[in-house]
Amino acid sequence: MIVTPARLYIFTGKGGVGKTTLSKSFVRYLVEHDHEAVYLTFKNQALSEIHKDITTETETDGIREIALDLEESARGYIERRLNSKIIAKWIVKTPFFRALINMVPGFNYLIYLGKVLEMGKENPRLIVVLDAPASGHALTMVESTTNFQHIFESGLIFEDTHKMLSRLNDPTYTKIHIISLPSQMSWQEAIELKSGLVERTPVQVGITVNNCLYSLVEQNLSDLPSGLRDKAINEKNLIDEHRAEMQCILPHSLGINSKTIELDLVGSLSNLI
């Protein structure tokens, strides 16, 4: 059965679980299956007094990568709403606006998500794979549009957040992948994050267990040093107990760098669609 991909995939989880490598590998998977996809990150979380960053776009080994800059995204948003580059440039430099973005929880994500959805509107074929901030920030990001819709009961921001909610809460448009390592602590953190996200959005939230050693060594357990053997057995026990809750289980890659690991994982990602 052919599955139609979503338009926005959000990869999140604790730091160090392999989100970046896995996100890029998933972009490769989509491109290999004739989809137009882009790997996306948020370059900064706040506005500094001396602004040096800009949105950057590169292409590495056939993979398109975009790092969005917060100030540039904010300026573009205001420019579209007011139809004036000059006014937009002035507004984002005012102390009040910069303090508003930096102090109000989720306002930065509201701006970023507006840019992400604009990209999707401009190119109906584009699939965005967002390498999202770590767990706590992901919760703030997902609930930011709802919070601002409650704060602004009418006007442009209300209308814009309503449009964002209609997309972000559309199960055919958005999917969220939580990445976990095959350890009890990492798994528990992923379960807690999933619970928080499920409370905030009706879209599909799945947990992918990454970097599993057991599948590579199960035939040679007796030959392994005791530490590795115990690790593999603990992984097996975790997977056996919670397999029904795991959307995807990915083996440990023997690749020696990020690119070879990305290529190594591509063939195992069909369940993430």
Give pLDDT tens digits for 137-182.
777 777 777 766 666 666 666 677 777 778 888 999 999 999 999 9
175 falls within a domain: yes
pTM for the structure as a whole: 0.91
Q: Residue 1 above 60 pLDDT?
A: no
114 falls within a domain: yes
Q: What is the CATH number of the domain that holds 174?
A: 3.40.50.300
Structure confidence at residue 214 as a pLDDT band (50, 70, 90): confident
158 falls within a domain: yes
Q: What are the C-alpha distances in Å from 204 to residues 57, 168, 173, 260, 266?
A: 29, 11, 10, 29, 21
| Nearby residues of 212 by Cβ (< 8 Å), 6 or more positions away | 182, 235, 239, 249, 250, 251, 252
The pLDDT value given to residue 184: 94
State the chain's mean pLDDT as an integer. 87
Structure confidence at residue 2 as a pLDDT band (50, 70, 90): low
Count of the separate structural domains present in the chain: 1
Please give the residue that has the higher pLDDT: either 66 or 147.
66
258 falls within a domain: yes
The pLDDT value given to residue 266: 93
- CA dist 201 and 144 (Å) reads 11
Is 239 within 8 Å of 246 (Cβ atoms)? yes
Range of the domain at 167: 8-69+110-272
23 falls within a domain: yes
DSSP assignment of the chain:
-PPPP-SEEEEE-STTSSHHHHHHHHHHHHHHTT-EEEEEEE--SS--SS-----EEEEETTEEEEEE-HHHHHHHHHHHHHT-HHHHHHHHHSHHHHHHHHHSTTHHHHHHHHHHHHHHHH-TTEEEEEEPPPHHHHHHHHHHHHHHHHH--SSHHHHHHHHHHHHHT-TTTEEEEEEE-SSHHHHHHHHHHHHHHHHH--SEEEEEEEEE-HHHHGGGGGGS-HHHHHHHHHHHHHHHHHGGG-SEEEEPP--SSHHHHHHHHGGG-GGG-
Sign, CA torsion 194/197/198/203? negative
Quick: pLDDT tens for 76-96. 888 888 889 999 999 988 988
3 falls within a domain: no
Quick: pLDDT tens for 103-135. 877 888 888 888 898 899 899 999 999 998 776
102 falls within a domain: no
The pLDDT value given to residue 106: 80
62 falls within a domain: yes
Which of 14-18, 145-149, 215-219, 245-249 comes out lowest in average pLDDT? Answer: 145-149
The pLDDT value given to residue 72: 92
